[in-house]
Structure 1
Amino acid sequence: MSSSLLPQDKNSRRLLLAFLVTVVFMVAEVIGGLISGSLALLADAGHMLTDAAALLVALMAVRFAKRKPNSRHTFGYLRLTTMAAFVNAAALLVIVVLIVWEAIARFFNPQPVMGTTMLVIAIAGLFANILAFWLLHQGEEKANINVRAAALHVLGDLLGSIGAVAAALIIMYTGWTPIDPILSVLVSCLVLNNAWRLLRESFHELLEGTPEEIDIDKLRRDLSMSIAEVRNVHHVHVWQIGEQRLMTLHVQVVPPHDHDALLDRIQHHLREKCRIGHATIQMEYGRCETPDCEINEIPAASADHDHHGHSHAHHHH
């Protein structure tokens, strides 16, 4: 059990470190903005504040996800990680809109920018964001939608810091301040695509949609072809909570000599081929009598010649 919590512990530690790095640099950016009178730096500090809030929400979600299930929340609090990812992605979209809006205003009404001060703070921010992004990009971020959401926020700032360094250099050497809002819009476009994809993915998971890598029709065919006793697979439901995939299905089988051995073979197939560790399987020896099964059931001629009893078989906890 302890090994299964290890990825969550790693995620939690990385999120905490990234949060601390972000907060420390945000404070430094506020001080630098006040000393130099740079509105651009203060605005970026506000962006860092939203990143810090996103990381804090993500950190809280990972901590809540470790709480044990109870009779009222039988899957524990794993869904909080998906909800946090959805909120983070939505917040990122709002930030992008605000940046573009501000950039348009600044393009038509350029503000004086202290290039040297901007360059120093931008370089410091670049290193801080590289550190934070590296912390969040160590290992499990592909599996954990929550850490990916936090990493996207930091990526936005990382790209923003690169743009700020470039803008500061151009302003120092040419005095052309409109480069600042132009680069802001370009960075926003880069972040927008990832944020929108994450928003769709987390929304799909909140709707308990089938994980993208799983093809239900193919799964049904493979199960029937791989295990000789399986004649029909129907009433299949697959969804995901946090990083855990769950499944319920009805399997019509030839009456086996060893019921438990056949059940184990089906579970092993689902675990190895689809990474489904939690499957609830209803094994049936004849036609399915459950009323709502008719929606998903493929008529099987072989189902007619068997008796109508069925047994429920659940995997071992």
Structure 2
Amino acid sequence: PATSTWGAKRAAAGHPAPFNLEYVGIGNEDKITPEFEERFKMIYAAVHAKYPKMQVIGTVGPSPKGEDYDKGWALASQLNVPLVDEHYYEKPKWFLTNNRRYDTYDRRKPKVYLGEYASWGNTLFNAVAEAAYMTSLERNGDVVQLASYAPLLAKEGHTQWNPDLIYFNNSTVVPTVNYYVQQLFGQNQGTEYVAGVVTPPAGAVADTTVAASCVRDAKTGDVILKLVNASTTAQPFQVDLSGLKGLNLAATRTIFTGDKDAKNTFVSPNTVIPKTAAYKAKSRFSYEAQPYSLTVIRMRGKR
């Protein structure tokens, strides 16, 4: 309440109503030493006792594997921490070849908040590799419950980290190509993953440059396809919507594509941007995805 010590400070800062905080992280990319484990247990117990409904997020280091990752996961599993915060920055190839990373996670263990991730760079190839990986996050939404990109904002000439999502100076804002991938996924979320709708090109299990997902929004009934092609040639996807009832096949299609090394810059901020148009889907159809592309096809649920 605003009458408490910290509530009064919040109110004085212009926000009298509580924030209704649901999650709190303990630690950030820490070395998982015996001292850290001792202190984590103390803080976790205190938070849980005072706020039993608070979702505590543990830490498992700055990498997708290694000693701190293993020790952090072991500690979280021992204490039954609700979520752990995974961080990793890798080359585009890593994101393409690790699309199945979460498929084999133990569903009985803590869930994942993918708190920081990005491929090293702001080219279209980086963005498309991230898009391919994000289809796996949708497929494993029962494990990866939250995800957030690398640092959001960076001022020209004053950056401390690369990559970032949006660059700006005193007069111009430049959303990166990576930003548009995040935007397209964010604006086309679903509440349910629908398996078996999209069949990737033959040999796609070995060819990690293609990926796809299909989700449905329970609130609207909309079905959304995301088709990713990170290869040098067009790739055919087979789509079968015959098992999904109540769809308006007069859809919208957004295509995000361009040259592999294309970037949005202060000189050319709109080098690669999404383009949306009407699209007539069918209950069964083949779709040829352009090289280095993310395609989003959204079919409205009938009301």
Larger fraction in strand:
2
Q: Is the radius of gyration larger for structure 1 or structure 2? A: 1
Shorter-chain TM-score above 0.5: no
TM-score by length of 1: 0.23
Relative contact order, higher structure (CA 8 A, sep 6+)? 1
